[in-house]
Amino acid sequence: MKVLPKYLPALLCMVLPTSLKAAEPKAPNILWVITDDQRWDSINAFNRMVHDRDDSALGKVMSPNVDRLAKMGTTYINTYNQNPSCAPSRTSMHTGRYSHRTGVYGFEYYNPKGMEHWHPLVPQVMRDAAGYQTVTVGKRGIRYVEDLKKGEPSKLYDVDLGYRKEFATKKLIDWSNETDWKTKEKTETFYFENGDVAVWTDKPEPESTTHRDIARKLDLFRDYRPGQSSEKGVADGEIIGGVNPQPGDKTRDGSFSISLIDYLKHPDQKFTTVNGKKVAGPATDKPLFVHCGFDFPHTPVLPPEEFRKMFSGFTYDVPEFSSEELENFPPQIQKLYKTAGSNHYTSEEKQQMISDYFAFCAYGDSLVGKTVDAFIEYSESQQRPWLVLYVCGDHGWRLNEHGMIKKFGPFDTDLKDPIIVASSDKTKFPADKVVTDLTTFVDMSPTFFAAAGIDISKPEYDYLDGRDLALVASGKDTPRDYTIAEPTPVIGPCALIRTKDYKFSMKIRPKNIDGKNIDWALKQDLDKVDPMFFDLRVDPDETHNLAADPYYRPVIDAMRKKLQDIVLGDGRVEVKWSRAGGDEVVLSNFAPGADDGILELPQLEAKTQ
């Protein structure tokens, strides 16, 4: 294809008749990058924005590429997810709706088309309403059923470049896992650089040395509970430390990045992907919407050796945990502590889990940089504007904060996940700008739609719970006073509301969600709903539960009422799910319009902790 001189467009403008209308502006190509289980403080730029220092409170982190992206665009530093678990979090992102309106609180299938509360997901709207071609690679993390009769997963994206299984068939991966749901047997497969494949099962023969061999080669550190064996090769929990069996780009995340970059190199061509799929490359006459779901730093936490060596000399400050904090945990958090408590780990084990985690994040940062650069290069080669939306984790990850590891809790370690939007349009998303307004994961969908030229003020988009982040950045949107979340999968029915100064969480049901007793919490005294309350002005680490302090009762009562009205009474959806879709839907709408973004609270001085 002949390339026109850069000055030619300007020359043509000079000689064309002025009566001709200017060409309609092109819709931007859009890249949506999501990482998995990533803490916000694994990014240097975010630490500087929040604490005016490069590193995490725990110690050294490295993120030159995301730091560069932050310089290129606008960072929404106070962004919070709606549920610190993969499926419900990603469903909120893909719908622009809270969990209580999607009906996805854990690992349910998203509602089928035709049900009363059904609304399309991001790629469907981008394709059908804005003419985008849609592409996905890596982890999508949502369970979606569209056709009730066939009961088969709907094809959400036009082109699916693959996830773990597709890359595993070509050994373009470091690790994969399978579970036999009949026998409950778990199998993990490790792919080594030299072509060797090692299989680990949770039911090995007694004389087998496979577990110890794999553990020794990869220095594996698996999660174990008090009283269980901590011996490497014997412990059978999730891998929370170790070295990757593959170098650099040959990991599963590396393959996701390579596959997407290769796709962008084949515009208007049919070609075979790196994992053997035959697909059509991007059509240059259409705008492109790309979803890239990285696995890192989700377990298994296995940074490549070169990155692990970078972090091997660092010593990390392990968060302190007091008996007083443990005693003040309400029953729901006590339950979380029993599944994720970390006080039994040795100092050496805690150092490894932190070091390997941040090393894995640093490796992932390098992939984000390559992917974003390739996308921008492709867009500019097509003379099309572009937008990159980067999400730092579908939720966070504790590294011994509150005496626990992992996720699923109501703490900021689990819920805070800043977003960066970088765009060729610096008027909408200025470079090196930091927005401190409260923003949420439901804001992504309306941002994509507005960027694509969709008028989200039309009635058909009234279902969106989020806001256009371009308007938030410009100050044209009234800042919301609060965010909400429902961290339910492990601890049970729980909801929380957070302002810039306070956080209140509570139990909202006696048992797991089942369409019954939706009004239970409305009838309970405060001490019966497992309350937690933090004054974030003096306790940003959320270690002092003040729910029983009468001084704060006026604030707690106001926050509780607002929270209950929203999550229980403003369009709550609960469905009894099956693979083919729910056969019974319960709707609760006793407080319609409660989610108005406004929460007026009594003015109280902060008490010294």
Q: What is the pLDDT of residue 411?
A: 96
Q: At 279, which helix (H) or strand (E)?
A: strand 278-280
Q: What is the pLDDT of residue 107?
A: 77
Q: Is the dihedral of CA 318, 322, 326, 328 positive or negative?
A: negative
Q: DSSP secondary-structure letter at 341?
A: B
Percent of the chain as helix, strand, coil, to the nearest 5: 30, 20, 50
CA distance 26 to 540: 44
Q: Is 558 helix (H, G, I), strand (E, B) or coil?
A: helix
CA 455 to chain centre: 26
The torsion angles phi and psi of 17, rounded to 5 degrees, stand at: -60, 140
Of the candidates 301, 284, 198, 152, which has an alpha carbon nearest to the alpha carbon of residue 240?
301
CA distance 567 to 410: 15
User: Using an 8 Å Cβ cutoff, are 129 and 446 in contact?
Assistant: no
CA distance 289 to 157: 9
- What number of other Cβ atoms are within 10 A of residue 274's Cβ? 18
| CATH numbers and ranges of domains, the chain | 29-169+254-298+339-347+355-474 (3.40.720.10), 175-241 (no CATH), 483-588 (3.30.1120.10)
Q: What is the pLDDT of residue 580?
A: 52
Q: Is the dihedral of CA 578, 583, 589, 594 positive or negative?
A: positive
Q: What is the pLDDT of residues 497-535, one digit of tens each?
A: 999 999 999 999 988 777 788 999 999 999 999 999 999
Rg, Å, the chain Cα set: 24
- The DSSP result for 281-301, as a single string, is ---TTS-EEEEEE--TTSSS-
**Tokens, residue 122:** 């991001």
The torsion angles phi and psi of 495, rounded to 5 degrees, stand at: -140, 155
Q: DSSP secondary-structure letter at 526?
A: G
Facing residues of 272 across strands? 278
CA distance 359 to 164: 21
Give long-range contacts, CB 8 A cutoff, 24+ apart: 456-463. Answer: 463/96, 463/97, 463/101, 463/119
Q: DSSP secondary-structure letter at 159?
A: E
Q: Within the chain, which residues score under 50 in pLDDT?
A: 1-22, 147-149, 151, 153
**Tokens, residue 608:** 């010294």
